[in-house]
A and B are shown apart, each in its own frame.
Chain A
Amino acid sequence: MPALSGGQHKSAWSPGFWAAFVICAMVLVLAVPLLNSWVPKDSSAALPDYLVPLLGKYLCYALLALSLDLIWGYAGILSLGHGAFFALGGYCMGMYLMRQIGTRGVYGNPLLPDFMVFLNWKELPWFWWGFDHFAYAAAMVVLVPGLLALVFGWLAFRSRVTGVYLSIITQAMTYALMLAFFRNDMGFGGNNGMTDYKDILGWDVHQPSTRLGLYIASVMALGLGYICCRFITTSKLGRVLLALRDAEGRLRFLGYSVTNAKLLVFTVSAVLAGIAGALYVPQVGIINPSEFSPGNSIEIAIWVSVGGRGTLVGAIVGAVLVNSAKTWLTGAAPETWLFVLGALFVVTTLVFPRGIVGLLRRPIRIRAQAAAPVPAGEQA
Chain B
Amino acid sequence: MKTATRLTDALLYLDGVTVSFDGFKALNDLSLVVEEGELRTIIGPNGAGKTTMMDVVTGKTRPDSGEVFFRGTADLSRLDEAEIANLGIGRKFQRPTVFENLTVLENLELALAGSRGTWKTLFAHLTSERRDRIAATLARIGLGEQSGQPAGALSHGQKQWLEIGMLLIHDRTLLLLDEPVAGMTDRETEATAELILDLAKDRSIVVVEHDMAFVRSLGARVTVLHEGSVLAEGSIDHVQNHQRVIEVYLGR
Contacts from A to B (Cβ < 8 Å): 1-2, 4-8, 232, 235-237, 239-240, 242-243, 245-247, 249-258, 260-261, 263-264, 368-373, 375-377
B100 A256 Cβ-Cβ under 8 A: no
Give the contact stretch, choosing among B1-9, B43-51, B106-114.
B106-114
Q: A237-B122, A251-B99 are in contact. List 19 more A-B contacts (CB 8 A).
A: A4-B103, A6-B125, A6-B134, A7-B126, A236-B121, A237-B124, A239-B106, A240-B110, A240-B121, A243-B99, A243-B102, A247-B99, A247-B100, A258-B82, A264-B118, A264-B119, A264-B122, A376-B100, A376-B101
- Chain A residues within 8 Å of B150, by CB: 368-369, 372
Question: CB-nearest residue of chain A relative to B87?
Answer: A255
B81 A252 Cβ-Cβ under 8 A: yes
Instruction: A256 to B122: give the CA distance in the assembly, Å.
Output: 13
Instruction: A213 to B86: give the CA distance in the assembly, Å.
Output: 51
Contact of A232 with B131 at beta-carbon distance under 8 Å, contacts A2-B148, A368-B149 already known = no
A377 B124 Cβ-Cβ under 8 A: no
Chosen A-B contacts, 29 in total, with CB atoms closer than 8 Å, are: A1-B105, A1-B131, A1-B135, A1-B148, A2-B147, A2-B148, A6-B130, A235-B122, A235-B123, A237-B121, A237-B124, A239-B106, A243-B110, A245-B101, A249-B81, A250-B93, A253-B58, A254-B85, A254-B111, A255-B85, A255-B170, A256-B116, A257-B116, A260-B118, A263-B118, A369-B150, A369-B153, A372-B100, A372-B153
- Chain A residues within 8 Å of B149, by CB: 368
Q: Smallest Cβ distance from B136 to chain A, in angstroms?
A: 12
**Main secondary structure on A side of the interface with B:** helix
A246 B116 Cβ-Cβ under 8 A: no
Q: Smallest Cβ distance from B178 to chain A, in angstroms?
A: 11
Contacts from B to A (Cβ < 8 Å): 58, 60, 80-82, 85-86, 90-91, 93, 97-103, 105-106, 109-111, 116-119, 121-126, 130-131, 134-135, 147-150, 152-153, 166, 170
- Chain B residues within 8 Å of A239, by CB: 102, 106, 109-110
Question: CB-nearest residue of chain B relative to A370?
Answer: B153
- Chain A residues within 8 Å of B147, by CB: 1-2
A254 B110 Cβ-Cβ under 8 A: yes
Instruction: A5 to B103: give the CA distance in the assembly, Å.
Output: 10
A253 B91 Cβ-Cβ under 8 A: yes
Instruction: A254 to B116: give the CA distance in the assembly, Å.
Output: 9
Question: CB-nearest residue of chain A relative to B111?
Answer: A254
* Candidates A6, A255, A371, A372; contact of B116 at CB < 8 Å: A255
B148 A368 Cβ-Cβ under 8 A: yes
A373 B100 Cβ-Cβ under 8 A: yes
Question: CB-nearest residue of chain B relative to A257?
Answer: B82
B105 A255 Cβ-Cβ under 8 A: no
